[in-house]
Chain A
Amino acid sequence: MIRLQQLHFRYPQSTFRLNIPELEIKAAERIAVIGPSGCGKTTLLNLISGILIPDQGTLISCGIDLKTLNDSQRRAYRISKIGFVFQEFELIDYLNVRDNILLPYFINGTLQLDESVHARAQELAASMQIDQYFSSRIDQISQGERQRVAICRALLPQPQILLADEPTGNLDPANKRLIRDLLLEHATRTNATLIMVTHDDRLLDQFERTINIERFHEVVETA
């Protein structure tokens, strides 16, 4: 499903290096990515989503070699294959819950917003127990509910890969487990690959595999 080989990446004018000799993630696999801050967890997600382009090596996802894609092709890949959940939720404060869930359809001309999408959004919200807040503003709901809105937004376009970048980082322990379980449950139900970055060891038990990204990270002395 996702294959990284001899992959090298560095940010311009930075001592940060990410070198991944071999990493394979199977379809529908549930993976937790761990490692200290600044070791490249978010970078790995951005590489898989096509936002960043590796300097060297191969990155094949859903059968597509991401290095060969141009900007618009990578964008099309991101729209059709990837769902993103962020630590800070990244919801739009001037939209209500429903419009936040539907956001990918407002900003991507390739996604067709029709009745079935509206119905699916309603269904997803109900499954996350936030459908009663459909018309509420974002500042009127709790942190845990905001993250559930963000998960609905990521799941609505039915992605094959769900990337969650520390989605539980800002939540209390009860909500952390709830959000993790929701992600796992929906990934299982939709047969999506789940890659979740976390700092919390207590959440790792439900994942099939844990990758410590620290082993791929190195800091290079600059001249």
Chain B
Amino acid sequence: MNGILRLTFRYLAYNKLKTITLILCVSLALLLPVLLQFGVVQFEQDLLARARSTPLIAGAKGSRFDLALQSMYFSRAELEPTTMQEVESIQETGYALPIPLALRFTAQGAPLVGTTLDYFEFRKLEIEKGTSLRRLGDCVIGASLAEKIQLKPGDRLMSDPLNVFDLSGNYPLKMRVVGVLGKSGSPDDDAVFVDLKTEWVISGIGHGHQSINAATDKDLVLKQEDQRTIANAAVPQFNEVTEDNLASFHFHGQSETFPISSIILVPADEKSEVLLLGMYDAENSVLQLIRPTEIVNELLELVFRVKQLFDMNTLLVSVSVGLLLALIFLLSLRLRKRERQTMFQLGSSRSTIWKLQLTEIAFILGTSLIIVFGIAVVFRIYAYQIMRFLFIE
């Protein structure tokens, strides 16, 4: 081993505590700005990629951010619902393919997305295991979620109750997992997808129960109106859709009044997009139509403003750490003056003596950089989740 390196390692090993402290100080001073930069860049890429692949989103008037973020990332937000009638209206214009999204529920904490099969095609989501949605009560789960909660086709997944204390509210539905999506590196990986009708069953609009014979099941009849028998609350409802009870599931009310959270619009062409934007720009329009890229850019501006504050803070911290390190090195140089003098008297050149000191600094900086690099690589893998947690959820 080269003499300088040998002396460097001996010195650093002899002063373990000092060396470790210095490496940690430098690593920490470097880590924050590096991770922040890394995270913001990754976040920007991920956000923009999702936004660019989502041309337009329609939803009830209210927060544009909530509408965009919930429709693209399935984040929790209390969106005013819109109805299926709006989906049909858009469909009738022929300007765009409307993909309805119902996003009120969760299953094992994961967002439950009620939609149509068009969504899978639109997002280019492939079924990796099992099949696509086939009937009421089926669900398809994202790859990461399947891995996390250890579910596979054939297993059952229970939806979460919206409010456990609300006795008149919805009841959880035991869903049949029929497929697992391939990994897409998007929020779809962490979601549960069901048909809109299944979502409506979970919300209580549709249900299945045993058929009632007014003559024999008197305890279950609330009132009889001509040909119509109205059952009371004692009728046991099915909490799982099976082949046997599938036919008993039905919906009350007109389907065009059924609620949805938002609509993704895939315009036929640029002209159609402009026409749609014009259509919903009117003051009396019940819907708002947003371009996700515009919303994401606004969100990123906010993120960058927060980052600027962090950068300022980091700069000050880094300068302080730098000055402290410089002080430590200067004090160390002073303490080791006799060592340098001895080396000089033993024939060492001044440049060799300085090389020795610089090698020590280089080792500390190098080790710190390796640590920062290692953490940054790990962080990169989780950057999306962390930034999403910080800025979306």
Contact = CB atoms under 8 A, between A and B. Distances in A.
Given A90-B338, A92-B339, A108 B348 contact: yes
A103 B344 CA distance: 12
Interface string A106-118: 1111000100000
B347 A108 contact: yes
B10 A51 contact: no
A41 to B, nearest CB: 15
A113 B3 contact: yes
A75 B7 contact: no
Nearest to A93: B14
Contacts of A109: 3, 352
A100 B14 CA distance: 14
B90 to A, nearest CB: 77
Contact of A107 (B10, B13, B343): B343
A107 B14 contact: no
Nearest to B343: A107
Chain A interface bracket (under 10, 10 to 19, 20 to 34, 35 or more): 20 to 34
A155 to B, nearest CB: 12
A86 interface: yes
A52 to B, nearest CB: 11
A113 B19 CA distance: 28
Contacts of A95: 7, 10
Contacts of B345: 49, 51, 78, 84, 86, 90
Contacts of A106: 3-4, 6-7
A105 interface: yes
B11 interface: yes
B349 interface: yes
B347 A94 contact: no
A28 interface: no
A94 B352 contact: no
Contacts of A104: 346-347
A78 B10 contact: no
A108 B345 CA distance: 11
Contact of B348 (A93, A107, A153): A107
Interface in B327-356: 338-339, 341-349, 352-353, 356
Contacts of B89: none
Contacts of A88: 338
A103 B14 CA distance: 16
A171 interface: no
Contacts of B11: 94
B15 interface: yes
B349 A99 contact: no
B219 to A, nearest CB: 91
Contacts of A78: 345-347
Nearest to B336: A92
A99 B13 CA distance: 14
Contacts of A76: 347
Given A90-B338, A94-B11, A75 B347 contact: yes
Nearest to B353: A107
27 contacts: A51-B344, A75-B347, A76-B347, A78-B346, A78-B347, A79-B346, A86-B342, A86-B345, A88-B338, A90-B339, A90-B341, A90-B345, A92-B7, A92-B342, A93-B14, A94-B11, A94-B14, A99-B6, A104-B347, A106-B3, A106-B4, A107-B3, A107-B7, A107-B352, A107-B353, A108-B348, A153-B346
Interface of B: 3-4, 6-7, 10-11, 13-15, 338-339, 341-349, 352-353, 356
Interface of A: 49, 51, 72, 75-76, 78-79, 82, 84, 86, 88, 90, 92-95, 99, 103-109, 113, 153
Given A51-B345, A90-B341, A107-B343, 16 more contacts: A72-B349, A75-B349, A79-B347, A84-B346, A88-B338, A90-B339, A94-B11, A99-B10, A104-B346, A106-B7, A107-B7, A107-B352, A107-B356, A108-B346, A108-B352, A153-B346
